C-alpha cells in the first residue's frame, strides 16, 4: 500500500468515526441512518465502520440527517466564513475519490451555504464504456459544467 492510499484510508476512517459519533449524539439508529442515506443497513454499517469508501452523496445525506455541515464530517470542524470565500486553483478540499473520480469542495470554509460547489476530476476508463452506468441519486438540483471531454447523465423526473 502506498502513502496516498494509506492517507486516504485514514481519512475515510476519521470521517466514518465522526458520522458514528454524531449519529450517537443525535440518538439516531443505524436503521434510521441507512434509510435516510438510501443504503442498506449492512452498507451503512460498512461505511460507518470505515470499511467502505464514503461517496459524496452519502456524506451529504449524513450531514443533512445529523443537522451538521458537510465540512463538520469531512474535517471535524465547522466552517466559519460568512460573506465570501476564495479557493485558488488546485486548492479545493479533497472530499472523496471513487469510481475514477476525485471530488474537491470549493466552498468548504463557507458557512450556511445553500449549494456544494464541487470540482470533479474524472479519468477516462475504456473498460467503463462497455458497462452499465453506476447510478447515484439525490434530491434537489445539480449543475454540471464540463470543461473538457464528455459527460453522460441519466435524469429521472418524478412528480409528487
Give the number of other CB atoms < 10 A from CB of residue 3. Answer: 7
Based on the number of CB atoms within 10 Å of its own CB, is 122 exposed (0-12), middle (13-18) or buried (19 or more)? middle
- pLDDT band at 40; cut points 50, 70, 90: very high
Better-predicted residue by pLDDT, 144 or 138: 144
Q: Looking at the DSSP assignment, which residues form a beta bridge with residue 101? A: 98, 122
pLDDT at 123: 80
Cell of 110: 463557507
Q: Select the more confidently predicted residue: 64 or 158.
A: 64
Amino acid at each position: 500500500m502506498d502513502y496516498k492510499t494509506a492517507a486516504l484510508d485514514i481519512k475515510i476512517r476519521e470521517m466514518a468515526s465522526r458520522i458514528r459519533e454524531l449519529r450517537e449524539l443525535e440518538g439516531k439508529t443505524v436503521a434510521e441512518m441507512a434509510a435516510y442515506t438510501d443504503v442498506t443497513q449492512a452498507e451503512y454499517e460498512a461505511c460507518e465502520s470505515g470499511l467502505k469508501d464514503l461517496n459524496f452523496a452519502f456524506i451529504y445525506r449524513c450531514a443533512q440527517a445529523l443537522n451538521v455541515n458537510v465540512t463538520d464530517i469531512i474535517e471535524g470542524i465547522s466552517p466559519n466564513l460568512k460573506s465570501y470565500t476564495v479557493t485558488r486553483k488546485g486548492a479545493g478540499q479533497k472530499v472523496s475519490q471513487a469510481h475514477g473520480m476525485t471530488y474537491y469542495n470549493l466552498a468548504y470554509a463557507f458557512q450556511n451555504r445553500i449549494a456544494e460547489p464541487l470540482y470533479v476530476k474524472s479519468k477516462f476508463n475504456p473498460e467503463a464504456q462497455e458497462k452499465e452506468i453506476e447510478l447515484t441519486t439525490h434530491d434537489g438540483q445539480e449543475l454540471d459544467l464540463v470543461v473538457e471531454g464528455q459527460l453522460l447523465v441519466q435524469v429521472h423526473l418524478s412528480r409528487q
